Amino acid sequence: MRRGNRNRFTPFVVLSRHRQRDAFVRLRWRIVRDTPIYGGLFTSHLVLDEPGRPDAYRQWFDVLFLGLDGRSIWNATITTGGLAFWERIQDLASEQTRSRLTEAELEEEYRWKFAPAHYVGRQKFYRMIRPEPRRHAALDGLTIREYEERVASEILHDTPPDIHESFQLDCSYRYGIGLEIVVDSPIVDRAAIERSIRRFRDLGETDWQSPEPIPRDHLPFQTEAEAMANVTPRERQA
């Protein structure tokens, strides 16, 4: 779940108890209404368990569910350990790649250009043109993307990072309380979501991280780029 600037509104946690309760009741009725779709424990604006959707595209999901205090709303993104693993590897690969380049090389690599596209009346509109990827001697003659993918593969096989199941709260959300969940599951489906909600409640609806990392054999043995490359065109359209 990616959100923009949250500083131009009043966060949900600052609202009066009365306004929080009103929102809680409205969401409760929505969850009841959506029971045939989501099962009665949560709701979402996304489509869950689309037929034919490949597992590589079922690695996260946004849900809304009710707090146990009768007024809190949890605005959650559930992510698989596999996706968290890929994201951490990509961050490490990106850091290593950029550390080999100078500031001038990086600036030139990401300098967008603008060209006139069309006119509407007297108003001119432009299109952005991204420079062609450059090959760098410091990257063994590879482009930044090619080098990152190579480093990502090396990290995955040689020094895979630990990933932990976790619940992380964010009180800056406009609607409800933000909640980032990492779950040990190959995909995010209804069963994984329901297990996560029940576990969060059992833990007291608070920040938490498992002391033990997710077992290595529960995480991918190929990079995200490799996994996506194996998705067929028909599966991408599902």
pLDDT of residue 165: 98
- The structure's pTM equals 0.85
What SS3 state is found at 61? Answer: strand
Could you tell me the CA-to-CA distances from 104 to 16, 57, 107, 135 in Å, in that order? Answer: 51, 36, 5, 14
Could you tell me the CA-to-CA distances from 154 to 87, 115, 157, 160, 222 in Å, in that order? Answer: 15, 39, 5, 9, 10
- List, in order, residues 6 or more apart from 207 with CB less than 8 Å away: 166, 167, 168, 169
Residue 213: DSSP 8-state: P
**DSSP strands (E only) in 48-173:** 60-66, 73-80, 113-120, 123-129, 166-170
pLDDT of residue 3: 43
pLDDT of residue 131: 72
User: Which H or E element spans position 38?
Assistant: helix 35-38
pLDDT of residue 238: 53
Of the candidates 136, 139, 140, which has an alpha carbon nearest to the alpha carbon of residue 108? 136
- The amino acid at residue 46 is L
pLDDT of residue 235: 55
Written as tens digits, the pLDDT of the chain (238 aa) is 444 444 578 999 999 999 999 999 999 999 999 999 999 999 999 999 888 888 999 999 999 999 999 999 999 999 999 999 999 999 999 999 999 999 988 888 777 766 666 666 767 677 777 778 889 999 999 999 999 999 999 999 999 999 999 999 999 999 999 999 999 999 999 999 999 999 999 999 999 999 999 999 999 999 999 998 887 766 555 5
CA atoms within 13 A on the CB side of 195: 13
Domain boundaries, the chain: 12-38+59-85+163-233, 86-158
pLDDT of residue 1: 40
